[in-house]
Amino acid sequence: MANSTKTWKKIFWIVAIIGFVIGLYGIYDRFAFGHANTDYGSYVPWGLWVAAYTMLVGASAGAFVIAAIIYVRRVEEWYPVARTALTVALATFIGGMTSIWLDLGHPMRFLNMYINTNFTSMMGIMAWLYLIYGLMLLSMIYLSWTSERKRWLRKLSYLAVPFTIMFAGAEGALFGVVGAKALWESGLTPILFLIEGALAGTAAVIVGSFLFNKLDQAKVAYMGRIMLGLIITILILEWADYSVALYSGIPSTADAVRGILFGQHWYVFWIIHLLVGMLIPLLLLAIRPKNILTITGASALLVGTAIATKLNLIIPAQAQAEITGLETAFTGPGLTFTYFPTMPEWALFIWIGSLAVILFLAGEALLPRLKKEAK
């Protein structure tokens, strides 16, 4: 198993470095031409980069909660997995924040969110939650490697569990409180964000723990059962959400759901999300619930397709005109309800994903030095 993990670790390094280099084209285009070469516009202002941000930050919260729960329960044999979970949380959080930062028209103006915070706005509240979450995450990483008795780490973990659940739910509330978008405006949206983040975070921790040989059969079987339950929960919630929307027949909501299921990009839901991202992992977890390679493979599929759930949430809701006839009332660049990421958008997305993987791999290799320095 050790030789196998070393081989996969090398493969991850190579793929991540190649993706990072290829993605530099997206970085160049973003700073050289701004948003000129993207496909979003006035009607669809949020695209692939916003989807990547929500997916990565959600996975970060999911991984962070895993670590916090392990330290709260003081299960020492799981501490190596907890450290990996914290590294996953940091890498995905940096990736997510980088994605939304580059999506801003003027990236440096993000400081205004702290200087002139509007605390009646979910975005204003989330800006401070991001800061608190980042500081809490860095503190737990430092304590996990330098504290022998783990007393302070456990105390901080008690705060981390409820805070992170609130943090991840509030990220979903960013969309759930937007009354102009019927597909988003729902009390179910924050719940879906929580569960999808927990699933993506758990899957990422399994993959990361496998690469650094921290899993045995008992641990991977336990985490596999957690993923199995989360997948079933997501499928039930999605069925409830979509079926109610279609049955009610409210045009603004039903049209958006039809766009997800039967629109131009139907394959994002049926093939990438449902088949590859849900049903195949579900079968793998059910058929071979104790096999490390099988569960790691299922986890890799879940991580690789996690972006589909956010694309299904973000794009179809914006692709519906709030006023009948708006799509034909005005014409011009950016005044369209269709969207598909351009090459620079894909390149930057690849760069961000590769950056997160490199940060994780480098973190797992370098963070043990903190323990040596502490001793």
In the predicted structure, residue 26 carries a pLDDT above the cut 60: yes
Q: Distance between CA atoms of 343 and 349, rounded to whole angstroms?
A: 10
Q: Which pLDDT band holds residue 103 (cuts at 50, 70, 90)? A: very high
Report pLDDT for 172.
83
Sequence-distant (≥ 6) Cβ neighbours of residue 219 within 8 angstroms: 78, 81, 209
Q: How far is CA 108 from CA 76, 237, 273, in A?
A: 42, 38, 34
pLDDT at 356: 97
pLDDT of residue 375: 56
The two structure tokens encoding residue 163:
């805070």
User: What's the confidence (pLDDT) of residue 295?
Assistant: 95
Confidence band for 149, pLDDT divided at 50, 70 and 90 = low
CA–CA gap between residue 61 and residue 195 (Å, rounded):
10
Domain count, the chain: 1
* Tally of CA atoms within 13 A in the half-sphere of 217 that contains its CB: 4
pLDDT in tens, 243-268: 998 988 888 788 889 989 998 899 99
Candidates 237, 225, 223, 157; CA nearest to 190 is 237
Q: Are 302 and 223 in contact (CB under 8 A)?
A: no
Residue percentage of the chain with pLDDT more than 90: 57
pLDDT exceeds cutoff 80 at 150: no
Q: Is the pLDDT of residue 147 over 80?
A: no
CATH assignment of the domain containing 317: 1.20.1630.10
Give the residue from 30, 180, 23 showing the smallest Cα distance to 104: 30
Q: What gap in Å lies between CA 358 and CA 350, rounded to an integer?
A: 12
Of 48, 88, 108, whose CA–CA distance to 347 is shortest?
48
Residue 348 CB neighbours (<10 A): 28
Place of tokens 């079987």: 221
Place of tokens 């739910």: 169
Give the pLDDT confidence of 354-374 residue by residue, as tens digits.
999 999 999 999 988 776 665
Q: Which residues contact 181 (CB under 8 A, 6 or more apart)?
A: 175, 317, 318, 320
Alpha helices for 273-291 (secondary structure H): 280-287
Those residues whose C-beta lies under 8 Å from the C-beta of residue 347, and which sit 6 or more positions away, are: 22, 23, 24, 25, 26, 29
- Of 93-97, 117-121, 213-217, the poorest mean pLDDT is in 117-121
Give the domain range for residue 140. Answer: 2-374
